[in-house]
Every structure is written in structure tokens, then in C-alpha cells.
Structure 1
Amino acid sequence: MITDTANPSFFTTKTPETIILLHGLWMKGGYLYLLAKRLRVQGYRTICFNYRSLQDTPSETVTCLNQFIMGLEAEVIHFVGHSLGGLLVQHLLTLYPQQRPGRVVALGSPFNGSIVAQRLYAHPLGRYLLGKSIKEDLLIKSLPTWEFTQALGVIAGIRGLGIGRLIVHLPPPHDGIVRVTETKLSGMHDHCLVNTHHNGLPFSSTVVQRIITFLRHGYFTR
């Protein structure tokens, strides 16, 4: 596991609130660098956690993540997860519930199971493309109700551009890969829609503002 800590020289003697960012399937930590930079400008300490989405199972990933968190000097730790990254945060809190205070924002995460992943899983080539990310059915099945002390906010895209449309018919609204209905989870604190596609969520200025509002207040808009 490699962690990419953005601009450690930014830190002051008083450690600011920390945000750990987790990328999605087939991506690397650098994919979220721009988002981390924008959040850092707002006074947060940002860490892009790089993990092997295909080679490691979700449990192996969150075990390494928890070990990394244990070594952090931080009183408040927030999480921002894109796609699979958001599901991994829930898996982390399930296996290792004794986390420090903070909030969670998921970007286009299919908490109710991804129909695109299900279709890929039905074929040998698709299972190869998904790798070990599906070993614990995070992408395939609906996840349990969110019952953690950390408030969850979910941001979903509604611009239907993405490879998902080439794999299966996606009834709108969707972001090209994940349907809006797939992002909704019982127990979440807030949910909002933005006009961007799945891979564009981390680059949207609107998404940045929504994240900041939720981390500060626990909701996306008044």
C-alpha cells in the first residue's frame, strides 16, 4: 500500500481536520489529487490513499487502511470515497468501528449494488476485469443500512456519459455507470444530484462545494 500525502509542508503545529480520499475501481490515488488540492485550500489536511483495487480483496484493503489510520496524528478524520471507494469506507467502519470522529461523503458509490458490475460478473472476461474487488460482493449486492456515528452524505451524477451504457441499458437518471437509485442507502444523512458524469465527479467544482458544506454542517444545502 502506498499513501500520497498532499503537500505536508502545509501542516501547522495544530493539525487540521484530516480527509482521507479513496479512489474507485481501476484508478489510482493520483486520480483524486485535484480534489484533494481543492479541499486542502479550504484548510483541511488531505491524504490520497492508494490501494490495489483489482489485486486485493476489500477486506485486505481496509485492513491496510485501518493500520495506516492508526498511525495518524489526527483528532478528526473524514472520508471522501469515489465509487468503490465509498463502499470501502462502509466496509472499514463495519470491520473496524472504533474510528475517530468525522463525516463521510460518497461520490457515485453504488450502495444498492451496481447493475453494470452484475452484468460484468456474469461473464468470465467481466470477472477478470473486476478482479478481487468483487470477492465480498460490495459491488454486486445491496449493502446494509448505514448505522455508524459518522454521518454519510451521497453525491450522485446525472449526466449519462460512460462505458456503462455499452454494457447494459441504464434507465435514467444515471451518471453513465451508476444509476441514481443505486447510490441511495438507508440511514444516509443527505443525498444530492450534480450535473456531471461518473468519472467527472471528483473534478466538479460543484462537488467540491457540496463536500465542504457537508463536512462542516452535515448536509449539502440548507
Structure 2
Amino acid sequence: MKLVGCLIFVLALALPQVAAAAECVVLLHGLSRTGQSMKTMEVALKKASYKVVNAKYPSTRKPVEELTPYVSTAVQKCGGDRVNFVTHSLGGIVLRAWLRDSRPANLGNVVMLAPPNQGSEVADKYAGSELISIMGPAAEELGTGPDSLPRRLGPANYTLGIIAGDRSANPIFSSKLSGPNDGMLTVASTKLQGMRDHITLHLTHTFIMNNPMTIAQTLTFLQKGRFDHGLDYNEATLMVKRIGKTEPRAQ
């Protein structure tokens, strides 16, 4: 019985603790997606005692600069709480554009999932095509050239953790990418000068936000400002299942 008790204690210590009081997380979905794509993440964060604002914005209808007011609207819903962010894909670029001019005094931690921080080689390859046109003006801004929007937004001067994927479900796009990639972006293109931590998971671009490992690592970074590079999938799954079922441990 003593051994069982010790094991339970160790597992409890490994769990991401629930949020401290007055913590809000704004979720920003990716290109051609909706807030529904971030629903699994939203549920997990709420169980961990965060206030969550799952923002919606017309990602295919406006350029990035015209999408930033939607971030302001979402942040206002956090009230006076400390504001953290979790973004997917284009959401990371929209956030970077917003933070350039609107950084809040109570900014917390930021986690970007598969962000095209150095631009997208896919956007380069299909520039001017009907595919990019359908995806909208923001997609047209995501090239890798030195004058592209992602390259002009500058380094991170906030606590940023980035999760990249290296599993592809899109062999056509992957054939146009140089190096490990998630079917849309190379791992290298997700990185950003000034980031606090970076981790690569064996996941695809489209569904990276729903995976237990991603959720566990996101919670860990929000609470500690770093990822757990030793965490395995089984441990992550257990952590996610137990969110909200243990008392927060002392700091």
C-alpha cells in the first residue's frame, strides 16, 4: 500500500497544476478554421480552472492587419485577468501583429501551435494560384521572403513556447517542403527569435491542437514557462484525464 501511495503522489506532482486565480487564455484558431477547431483545448483549459475566450475571426476574408481587432475584442472579455494566449497556425501571426502594437500590461505566457513564423514554403509555391486566392488575403501574406509579413513582425519579447509537428498527412504539400514538416510547414519555419522554448511532436498540422500531448505541453508551458521534454504520450494522456481532479500544489 505504501508503494501505491508513493506512485499516486509522484503522478500528482507530474500533473500540470490548475491555474492560479485571475488567469485567462485567449484561443486563436488557424486559417480556414473556426473556434470549433480549438474546442478540445478550450475544454481542457477550463477544467484546469482557466477562464477561456475562444475567439472567432474571418480568417479567409481579411488581411492580417484587419484581423487584429478581433484579438482586442477577445482580450476585453478577459476583464482584468492576466491574459495568456494559445494559437494555431495563422492565429500565431495574427497575435504577433496584434502584440506589436497592443501588448497588454498583464500579458502572461503564449503558446503557438504550428505557426508559420518564418512564412510558408507552400504559400511560396502556390503564390498567385487559385488555391491561395480561395484561402484569402491573409494566406497571400505568408510567404518566406524577407519582406513577407511573418518576417517583418520581429522577434518575440514575451514568454513564448512553440509546438511544431513533423508528421504529414499531405504528401503533395510535403514534397514541396525542405526538411521535417507537418504537411503544411517545416519545423524550422515555426521557430522565432526570442522564443523561450520549442518542442517538436509527431503530429500533423491540421489536428495538432487536439492531441493529449499537445494539451499537456500547453498546460505545462502556461504554468511554468517551459515544456516538459521528457514527457511521453502515456504520461500526457494520464495528465489530461486527471486535469481538475487534483489540488494545486504549492509554489
User: What's the TM-score, normalizing by structure 2?
Assistant: 0.75
Alpha carbons of 1:70 and 1:185: their partners in 2 closer, same or farther (altered >3 Å)? same
The answer to whether residue 177 in structure 2 is matched with residue 170 in structure 1 is: yes
Alpha carbons of 1:106 and 1:68: their partners in 2 closer, same or farther (altered >3 Å)? closer
> Any conservation in 1 of the 2:51–2:78 contact (CA below 8 Å)?
no
Cα deviation, 1:28-73, whole Å, max 9, x if unaligned, reads 1111111110121111111110110111221121123214423531
Aligned to 2:159: 151
Report the AA paired with residue 61 of structure 1.
L
Where 1:121 maps in the other structure, the secondary structure is coil
> Any conservation in 2 of the 1:119–1:168 contact (CA below 8 Å)?
no
Could you list the structure 1 runs, at least 4 aligned residues long, displaced by more than 6 angstroms after superposition. Answer: none
Shift of 1:221: 2.0
Supply the distance in 2 between the matched residues of 1:71 and 1:47 (Cα, whole angstroms): 7
RMSD: 2.1
Report the AA paired with residue 64 of structure 2.
P
> Any conservation in 2 of the 1:17–1:74 contact (CA below 8 Å)?
no
Alpha carbons of 1:99 and 1:67: their partners in 2 closer, same or farther (altered >3 Å)? farther
Where 2:54 maps in the other structure, the secondary structure is strand
Report the AA paired with residue 128 of structure 1.
S
Q: Tell me, which stretches of 5 or more residues in structure 1 are unaligned? A: 1-13
Aligned to 2:212: 205
2:224 to 188, 204, 217: 217
Supply the distance in 1 between the matched residues of 2:45 and 2:136 (Cα, whole angstroms): 31
The range that moved more, 59-68 or 193-202, is 59-68
Q: Tell me, which stretches of 5 or more residues in structure 2 are unaligned? A: 1-19, 230-251
Aligned to 1:7: none
Alignment length (residue pairs): 205
Alpha carbons of 1:139 and 1:217: their partners in 2 closer, same or farther (altered >3 Å)? farther
Cα deviation, 1:156-189, whole Å, max 9, x if unaligned, reads 01112236x3475223311111100110111111
Shift of 1:15: 5.9
Report the AA paired with residue 133 of structure 2.
Y
Aligned residue runs from structure 1 range 1-222, under 5 A: 16-123=22-129, 125-134=130-139, 137-138=141-142, 140=144, 141=148, 142-143=150-151, 144-148=153-157, 150-162=158-170, 165-166=172-173, 168-221=175-228
Where 1:103 maps in the other structure, the secondary structure is strand
> Any conservation in 2 of the 1:110–1:183 contact (CA below 8 Å)?
yes
Report the AA paired with residue 185 of structure 1.
L
Where 2:108 maps in the other structure, the secondary structure is coil
Report the AA paired with residue 167 of structure 2.
R
Where 1:161 maps in the other structure, the secondary structure is coil
Supply the distance in 2 between the matched residues of 1:160 and 1:20 (Cα, whole angstroms): 27
Supply the distance in 2 between the matched residues of 1:37 and 1:176 (Cα, whole angstroms): 26
Where 1:155 maps in the other structure, the secondary structure is strand
User: What's the TM-score, normalizing by structure 1?
Assistant: 0.84
The range that moved more, 60-69 or 78-87, is 60-69
Q: Which has the larger radius of gyration?
A: 2
